[in-house]
Amino acid sequence: MNTRTGRILLMLSICVSIAVATPASGDSPYSQWPNGPSTDPNFFPLGVWLQGPEKIAEYKNIGINIFVGFWGDLDQASLNLFASGQMPLIVSQNSAGLTGAGRTWIKSWSQMDEPDNAQDNGQGGYDPCIDPSAIVSAYNAIRANDTTRPVFLNFGQGVANIGYIGRGSVCNNWQPSYSSYYTQASQGGDIVSFDIYPVAGSNIPTPGRLEYVAEGVDNLKSWTNHRKIIWNFIEAAAINGTPPTAAQVKTEVWMSLIHGSQGVMYFVHQFKPTFREDGIFNYPALVSGVSQINAQVSALAPVLNSPTVSNGVAVTSSVIGVPIDTLVKQYGGFTYVFSVAMRNTATIGTFTLPGTTAGTAEVLGEGRQITIANGKFQDAFAGYAVHLYKITPAGDTPPAPPMNLRIQ
């Protein structure tokens, strides 16, 4: 990422097919890889970037269920720690990972990080971004050794911050278009991700503009022709000196999910004013907030992993220029409407539910219910507020949800 301390550039040229089967509707997107991420509908990826295995317990305590990246070369001793800690891992491919005991805990092979950025040449300057053909060659080399796990590829903030200076002139002027770089380069990954940190990052055109996260998800979905699994990174530390609030992190997470991200990973390093690898733990309120976010997302995993309902709700905002974005799911006899105000301005949303004339909308995690009348209900949104609704039509008595969906 733009603040990461190292990258591994794998440039190999073995040529194999990069065609990826598309799972049937409703199936786990990971079902095509026998050793890939869990296909359990109760699993939703909540990762952390570049943390050592000695920190497994502290991250499990806040709901992290996968480690992304490993500093240096994975060895058997470290792999043993991941296996004994029962922590899934995404890591650069090497012999220890391919043949070592405990390798079943490796769920994906990682590509070079942020290949779309200008590359540090180690001499105080920068080389151009990595050509897509090199990214695809690296992908082919990884798959030549193992096709049972997906390949993870992460781009930088240029996915959302169009024209980001850190990409360099070559990448920003890619022909025939800016987006075509990503369309080509994304063929080098099965799980494709990006990072942008609107509060704590650097070179953000409008600091604090949280909707960059959602725009990046939308861009990657479009640029990959909706054929890749999309994950993204969320800021959860001071990074360069200013930490996000727990409320801002919650907004970024739910903007991501509502716009179609299938995995959320946290960047928790702090570089200023002092370095700390697990910098999130400098901020107890942020730790508590992220823990609550992860608990709620995990509880809703079966819902999030279920098919999306198209045209399941219509919503209008009382303030022009303050859209309220939604995601609709149906699970266990309930309809779920996940919503977020896309600007930092208060508004009132009016929700219209096709096929539902009366009932209640339980606001998950907030301890309140809203009456549905004439197929509509209203709710107030503070700027960037998130509201998650579980809809029960009048006269219906749906079956009790599974225990992990009883969100307090």
Q: Where are the domains of the chain?
A: 46-304, 314-405
Using the predicted structure, report yes or no on whether residue 9 has a pLDDT greater than 60.
no
What is the band of 397 on the pLDDT scale with cuts at 50, 70, 90? low
- Chain-wide mean pLDDT for the chain? 91
Average pLDDT of span 5-29: 43
pLDDT top residue among 50 and 12: 50
What is the structure's pLDDT at 14?
27
pLDDT in tens, 140-174: 999 999 999 999 999 999 999 999 999 999 999 99
What is the band of 396 on the pLDDT scale with cuts at 50, 70, 90? low
5 to each of 21, 72, 122, 202, 234, how far by Cα in Å? 35, 11, 12, 15, 17
Average pLDDT of span 244-260: 98
What is the CATH number assigned to the segment(s) 46-304? 3.20.20.80
What is the structure's pLDDT at 27?
85
What is the structure's pLDDT at 408?
37
Dig out the tokens for 86 from the structure.
């029962």
Nearest of 339, 345, 383 to residue 361 by alpha carbon: 339
Domains 46-304 and 314-405 alike in fold: no
Predicted TM-score of the model (pTM): 0.91
Average pLDDT of span 195-215: 97
Query: What is the topology classification, in CATH, of domain 314-405?
Result: Immunoglobulin-like (2.60.40)
**Tokens 């208060």 correspond to what residue?**
346
Q: List 392's β-bridge partners, or say none.
A: 360
CA dihedral 1, 168, 229, 13 (to 10 degrees): -100
